[in-house]
Amino acid sequence: MAAKPHITLGTFLVRLLLLEALVLGTYNPSGVSFAHWIAADGGLMSGKVAAALFLTASYALVVTVLIGSIGGLGFLVGTFCLLLLVYQALLIFPEARTWLVLQWAGLISLGFVLAVGVVWSGLQYSLLGQKPARYVANKKKI
């Protein structure tokens, strides 16, 4: 009996949307983000601290899973490749070369690379049938 794939298009899209919400909720050029809220005067300081702790924990979890699945170099290569694709698109459409478009493209690319990194181990298992040899945390044998 064939094993059910761990990663489907639906599960990838859900993770992609959640990670895009995390990235764009932290900062986006529209002015409605955590960074803009923190920079604004006033507001409930305990709410800002709680939101900062939540974002820190969320990013720590995502980066831990990402480093365990594709590694730091894989993250850099994936981000660089997506930014090159954005650059090529901007060469084709020169009227879109604005700072605002570059910010949005960079943030969306970052969310996409994070989503691919989070599902990479499951995708590798679904496609190849072998479990990855890497661990999420480096464990030294004594």
pTM for this prediction: 0.78
Tell me which range, 12-16, 80-84, 116-120, is most confidently predicted by mean pLDDT: 12-16
Q: Tell me how crowded residue 113 is: count the other CB atoms within 10 A of its CB.
A: 24
Q: What is the mean pLDDT of residues 3-22?
A: 85
pLDDT band at 53 (very low <50, low <70, confident <90, very high): very high
